[in-house]
Amino acid sequence: LAGLEHANISIGARFAGRGDYEVRGPRKWAMSMLAGIVSSLAKTKLTDITSGFRAADRVAIAQYVKHYPVEYLGDTVDSLVVAIRSGLTVTQVAVEMRPRRAGTPSNNPYKAAIYLFRSMFALLVALTRRPVKLTDEEDAK
């Protein structure tokens, strides 16, 4: 919940100075490019916009009720862009992710390239959506 005292949405960021979480190759490039674009929209530095580790206040939740995308990456990239374009504020807090204990990573060069293209497409879709404007009554709830 850290960060919500200053913003509507707080992102738990893996790359904000804590821990040693690492991403490589095309996936890293895509994440960096997306973070740069969304940071400029949000007018604040965001390093990990694909993180699903988030907290939202009542106003953000009301906005999500009106628009929460179901597409791949929509729950992270698209929802964040629509929230920002709707006037909500975003911040990030550093979090430390623990290493994987079981299972196999989904990363390989082919999947990383697909991630790059899908994430750029998700951003384009998000930028074409109309902002969701909340009424004063909804903001007060």
User: Over 50: is that where the pLDDT of 140 sits?
Assistant: no
pLDDT the model gives residue 74: 62
Report CA-CA distances (Å) from 62 to 20, 67, 88, 135: 35, 9, 11, 10
Report CA-CA distances (Å) from 23 to 16, 20, 29, 104: 13, 10, 9, 15
User: Over 60: is that where the pLDDT of 138 sits?
Assistant: no
Domain range annotation of the chain: 9-98+106-135
User: Over 50: is that where the pLDDT of 122 sits?
Assistant: yes
- Place 76 in a pLDDT band, splitting at 50, 70 and 90: confident
The pLDDT tens digits for 105-117 are 666 777 767 777 8
Q: Which of 46, 44, 113, 109 is nearest to 77 (CA)?
A: 46
Compute the average pLDDT of residues 62-82.
77
3-state secondary structure labels for all residues of 54-79 = EEECHHHHHHHHHCCCCCCCHHHHHH
pLDDT the model gives residue 18: 62
CA distance 136 to 113: 43
Query: 73 phi and psi, to 5 degrees?
Result: 70, -5
Tell me the whole-structure pTM to 2 decimals. 0.76
The pLDDT tens digits for 15-42 are 776 666 677 777 778 788 889 999 999 9
Mean pLDDT of the chain: 80
